[in-house]
Amino acid sequence: MSEKVTRSDEKKSIFGLEINGPVFFTSVILIVAMITLVLIFNESAEEFFNKVQTNVSEFGGWLYVLSVNVFLVFVLFLAFSKFGKIRLGGKDAEPEFKTVSWFSMLFSAGMGIGLLFWSVAEPVTHYGAPPNADPNTIDAAKEAMNFSFLHWGFHPWAIYALVGLALAFFTYSRGLPLTFRSVFYPFLGDKIYGRTGDIIDIFAVLATLFGLATSLGFGVQQVAAGLEQVFGMSSGTTTQVLLIAGITAVATISVVLGVDKGVKILSEWNIRIAVVLLILVLILGPTLFVFESYLENLGNYFSSVVELSLWNESFTGGDWQNDWTIFYWGWWISWSPFVGTFIARVSKGRTVKEFILGVLIVPSLITFFWITVFGNSALDAIMDGNNAIATAVDNDVATALFIFFEDFPFTIVLNVVAILLIMGFFITSSDSGSLVIDSLTSGGKIEAPVGQRIFWAVTEGAVAAVLLIGGGLGALQTAAITTGLPFAIILLIMCYSLFNGLKDESKKHEKRKENEQKEDYEEIVSNIIKKRTKN
């Protein structure tokens, strides 16, 4: 396997840059071309992609539903099977990061920023417009929490766990480069170093950069709306571009410092601030109701998760699932190359079981508690007659969190903490994404030169700013989500590839163990013979 890695390394030095030329230059050209086309044909592009997404949801929704459930069952099977004992990087490999730091990084990169907005907005939206229950009723509240748990819990984290585990295994246990192509080695063999592998990595680069750029663009709109709501500042384009510049600058510094000194420290601070905000809302809000509803929410979710996760409106019809569940599955899948690659990057030395439990179970349970604290507190306020939150969700989701805080003591403190946390999560998403793209375009190099890291961090911010000024964020986001369906098929293939890889690794472990036992037995016999000979 070391020979394969050497072959990959040989093609990285081009014009003094440690890159994979075909992936790097093709990605840059395609990025410029696609942005130009989106800016020129903004309205028609968004209309086209919306139609594509509608058709994908309508005719491929069942495949999304099936695939995401397969991913969840598959990773749980791996965790509790004999494969769970396999250590990523070999039996002597040790984790590079402490468990708390590891968890902080994967959570910050995974979905930390989305929870800040949707933990209030989504339950409130479903409460007013549930798919099955009568609106604004107790049944609607229960259904709202059930679907919020479904969209943010085990299923999306299973997607990330699958991609992250596959990349980590083939990188650290098989010596292949940390790029998306590596997981297809059982199918493609040495072709992963050729044109086919380049195409796979180019696709992953585009999905990662455009996904991050559109999220950064929409995110700063939300931050700007929060600043206007709280401090009366203008939320116009100038403010948004300045926010992008600031976030990109800090993210660039973090990328230059690397994972250990940059991303890790920022991620740990994000978690600390998130815990402070969570505790404040928990103490200042309906504390007893939150604890009671957390247990009830878990019971309702676990008792109905099979039905919820397989439901696809086959009898009732309608577009509710396409607008929510299918949208989410497409979005999480389209983000999986980015998040999966980053999780793999920081997960060397973990066992398969430890990896899956750490990526799947722990984040999901914490996410459920976060959604309960914010979502149930918001629903409690609405049921007590405070319709301002529901109105804010209908008018502008970006302001929902800050309107929610207006019912609390120390409102200004909560708002400031929330804004800092939002910006912190954006920064960690940006810098971790830049590290991932740099790895993909450098042929899997884990620590690429500083100049290349800066290039991708700045490019990501520049793309977001250009699209924000010229329009096109909506079109590009829709385009990214439409890639979810073909990517779902790729991930199904990945399941088979990973299973075969782990099966071969398990056989090697068993054979090695048999040889060690045989050697021990032969040594014992040899010692006995020596003793008898002496006697």
Residues 201-246: tens digit of each pLDDT? 998 888 888 878 877 887 788 788 888 888 888 888 888 889 989 9
Strand, helix or coil at 216? helix
Rounded Cα distance between 410 and 390, Å, is 22
User: For residues 381 and 54, which has the higher predicted lDDT (pLDDT)?
Assistant: 381
* Highest mean pLDDT of the ranges 95-99, 278-282, 530-534: 278-282
> Which pairs from 366-369 meet CB under 8 Å and 24+ separation?
366/107, 367/111, 367/115, 367/152, 367/153, 367/157, 368/149, 368/153, 368/294, 368/297, 368/298, 368/301, 369/278, 369/294
DSSP 401-460: HHHHHTTSTTHHHHHHHHHHHHHHHHHHHHHHHHHHHHHHHTTS-SS--HHHHHHHHHHH
Mean pLDDT of the chain: 86
User: For residues 304 and 2, which has the higher predicted lDDT (pLDDT)?
Assistant: 304
Residue 343 and residue 106 in contact, taking contact as beta carbons nearer than 8 Å: yes
Residue 164 and residue 179 in contact, taking contact as beta carbons nearer than 8 Å: no
Task: Scan for tokens 């964020």, then name that residue.
Answer: 473
Task: Scan for tokens 């066992």, then name that residue.
Answer: 351
Rounded Cα distance between 98 and 124, Å, is 37
In CATH, the number for domain 2-534 is 1.20.1740
Paired residues of 534 in beta bridges: none
Rounded Cα distance between 40 and 35, Å, is 9
Domain residue ranges in the chain: 2-534
Rounded to an integer, what is the distance from CA 206 to the centroid of its chain?
A: 16
Phi, psi for 446 (deg, rounded to 5): -75, -35
Element holding 13 (H helix, E strand): strand 13-14
Question: What is the pLDDT, as a whole number, of residue 515?
Answer: 66
Question: Looking at residues 149-164, what average pLDDT do you find?
Answer: 95
340: pLDDT strictly greater than 60: yes
Q: Tell me the pLDDT tens digit for each residue of 104-128.
A: 887 777 666 778 878 999 999 999 9
What percentage of residues in the chain have a pLDDT greater than 90?
A: 37
Question: Looking at residues 290-304, what average pLDDT do you find?
Answer: 96
Q: Which tokens hold the place of 457?
A: 């961090």
DSSP character for 134?
A: P
Residue 353 and residue 77 in contact, taking contact as beta carbons nearer than 8 Å: no
Q: Tell me the pLDDT tens digit for each residue of 411-454.
A: 999 998 988 888 888 888 888 888 888 888 888 877 777 778 88
Question: What is the pLDDT, as a whole number, of residue 5?
Answer: 42
Q: Which tokens hold the place of 166?
A: 């596959």
Rounded Cα distance between 194 and 386, Å, is 60
DSSP H helices, 376-410, are: 377-383, 388-395, 397-405
Question: What is the pLDDT, as a whole number, of residue 1?
Answer: 40
9: pLDDT strictly greater than 70: no
172: pLDDT strictly greater than 50: yes
State which amino acid sits at residue 302: F
The pLDDT confidence band at residue 381, using thresholds 50, 70 and 90, is very high
Lowest mean pLDDT among 101-110, 182-191, 310-319, 472-481: 472-481
Question: What is the pLDDT, as a whole number, of residue 4?
Answer: 42
Question: What is the pLDDT, as a whole number, of residue 128?
Answer: 94
Q: Tell me the pLDDT tens digit for each residue of 323-335.
A: 899 989 988 988 8
Rounded Cα distance between 146 and 123, Å, is 9
Question: What is the pLDDT, as a whole number, of residue 162?
Answer: 96
Question: What is the pLDDT, as a whole number, of residue 481?
Answer: 76
